[in-house]
Amino acid sequence: MSSSFSTTNPAQKSEHTLAVLDDYLSLSETHFSSLPIGVSYFPSTLHAEHDTAALVARLQPYNMISSMRERTAFPATILAQLPNLKLLLTTGVRNASIDMSCCKERGIVVAGTKGTRHGETGAPPPGYASTTQHALSLLLALTSRVAVDDAVLKNTGGWQSGPAIALAGKTLGVVGLGKLGGAMARSCILGLGMRCVAWSASLTPQKVREVCDELGLPEGSIACVGKEELFAQADVVSVHYVLSQRSRGIVGREDIAKMKSSAILVNTARGPLVDEDALFEALDQGRIYGAALDVYWGREPLEPDSRWRTTPWGRDGRAQVVLSPHMGYVNKDTMETWYAEQAADVRRFIEGQEVGLRLA
């Protein structure tokens, strides 16, 4: 990630200034460069909890901020120190890291994005969720040993490192059968020939029947089971819960202990949904086959010395682990669409119009 930089349209003078945060792939400038305001880019993340003073100093001059998902948090302790802030742009339709009540109290408009691109050739169709594609990619990378064999071929001169795992006939356990969980279930049932069971705190057999109907699956394609049954039966557990105070740690030590020694856990939702220490211990001791993770606990980007990076996975009895850097939503189509929506909202705001999707 490069250092911060600023751009200004010299033909315009404006009272408005915009700080663009956490654009790791430098995709936003194309959309913001034509705005009649000064724009500054800060691609390196500062964390609200650990870098409070530096983050406040960075953001105090600006009355508009573009944020990307939950990479930078905006709790009340930060918002209270940003007296100039009038517009806070985020992406998607929710952001648990922004204190919405505080924004309302302080008169800060929070704008989300719908992520829609109508009529463009090659654009993803309505309802497409890139996180599902990524969850499936992680599962296949682990079970087909793609990452391990790629490293063997490139770095050691070796050939086949071990047998792949056939998924047809195996059981997928979906924790959270919402839009993303349902899409994962459908992909694995139709594409891989897997059986599927599902659980959430509020899931009922009637709701499962409705989900099957919405997904175009025959009734009975997904079974509604208890939590204990899911973790005991599933060959693959895929987590698709929304993180909240109630759901934090929803996959606990006891749940992980019930998993088969041949089982795999996939998490593309949020790290804190799973008990980190319990999962790490199970993997480090080889008590389950493996895990495929796109989300983590604490800071992101993941610290260079994080045990998730440095542990020699797959050696000395340890489980197989495939990691990706929170890429579930990071595809070019989605990111470009989000930044285009944010740029349009900046124009609306400076012209005194309502933003496209107001969250607070």
Residue 335 in 3-state DSSP? helix
Whether the predicted pLDDT of 242 surpasses 60: yes
User: In which band, very low, low, confident or very high, does the pLDDT at 216 lie, cut at 50, 70 and 90?
Assistant: very high
Q: What is the pLDDT of residue 124?
A: 73
**pLDDT(11) > 50:** no
Q: Is residue 64 part of a domain?
A: yes
Q: In terms of domains, do 100 and 44 share one?
A: yes
Cβ–Cβ < 8 Å for 272, 297: yes
* pLDDT mean over 60-85: 97
Answer whether residue 15 is part of any domain: yes
**Based on the domain organization, do 180 and 314 belong to the same domain?**
yes
- Average the pLDDT over 226-253 and give the result: 97
184 shares its domain with 243: yes
Please indicate, yes or no, whether residues 207 and 230 belong to a single structural domain of this protein: yes
What pLDDT was estimated at residue 10?
Answer: 44
* Poorest-pLDDT segment among 3-7, 32-36, 51-55: 3-7
When divided into structural domains, the chain yields a total of: 2
- Based on the domain organization, do 185 and 238 belong to the same domain? yes
Q: Does 89 score more than 60 pLDDT? A: yes
Asked whether residue 195 falls in the same domain as residue 106, the answer is no
159 located within any domain: yes
Rounded Cα distance, 23 and 217, in Å = 39
**Residue at 118 is within a domain:** no
Across the range 93-122, mean pLDDT stands at 88
pTM: 0.91
pLDDT score of 8 more than 50: yes
CATH of the domain at 253: 3.40.50.720
Q: What is the mean pLDDT of residues 80-85?
A: 98
What's the one-letter identity of residue 344? A
| pLDDT above 60 (res 106) | yes
At a CB cut-off of 8 Å and minimum separation 6, what does 225 contact? 197, 198, 199, 233
Whole-number Å distance between alpha carbons of 213 and 87: 41
In a domain, 61, yes or no: yes
Per-residue pLDDT for 24 more than 60?
yes
Spatial CB neighbours of 23, under 8 Å, sequence gap ≥ 6: 29, 41, 43, 66, 68
Rounded average pLDDT over 39-57 = 96
Nearest to 174 by CA among 120, 111, 233, 115: 233
274 with 173, same domain: the answer is: yes
Residue 125 located in a structural domain? no
Same domain for 153 and 284: yes
Alpha helices, DSSP H, located in 97-226: 100-106, 130-143, 146-155, 179-186, 192, 205-215
**pLDDT for 220-236, tens place per residue?**
999 999 999 999 999 99
- 6 pLDDT exceeds 90? no
Shared domain check, 248 and 160: yes
Q: Do 318 and 343 have their domain in common? A: no
Is 3 a residue whose pLDDT tops 80?
Answer: no
Q: What pLDDT sits at residue 117?
A: 62
Q: Is the pLDDT of residue 323 over 60?
A: yes
pLDDT band at 345 (very low <50, low <70, confident <90, very high): very high
The catalytic site residues sit at 270, 300, 326
pLDDT tens sequence across 267-318: 999 999 999 999 999 999 999 999 999 999 988 999 999 999 999 999 999 9
Do residues 343 and 253 both lie within one domain?
no
Query: With 90 as the cut, is the pLDDT of residue 93 above it?
Result: yes
Average pLDDT across the chain, whole number: 94
Q: How far is CA 22 from CA 35, 68, 309, in A?
A: 19, 6, 21
Structural domain for 188, as ranges: 130-323
Tell me, yes or no, whether 166 and 247 share the same domain: yes
Is 356 domain-assigned?
no
The verdict on residue 359 lying in a domain is no
pLDDT over threshold 80, residue 319: yes
pLDDT, average across residues 168-188: 98
Cα separation, 65 vs 324, whole angstroms: 27
Q: What are phi and psi of 269, to 5 degrees?
A: -90, -85
pLDDT for the residue numbered 5: 66
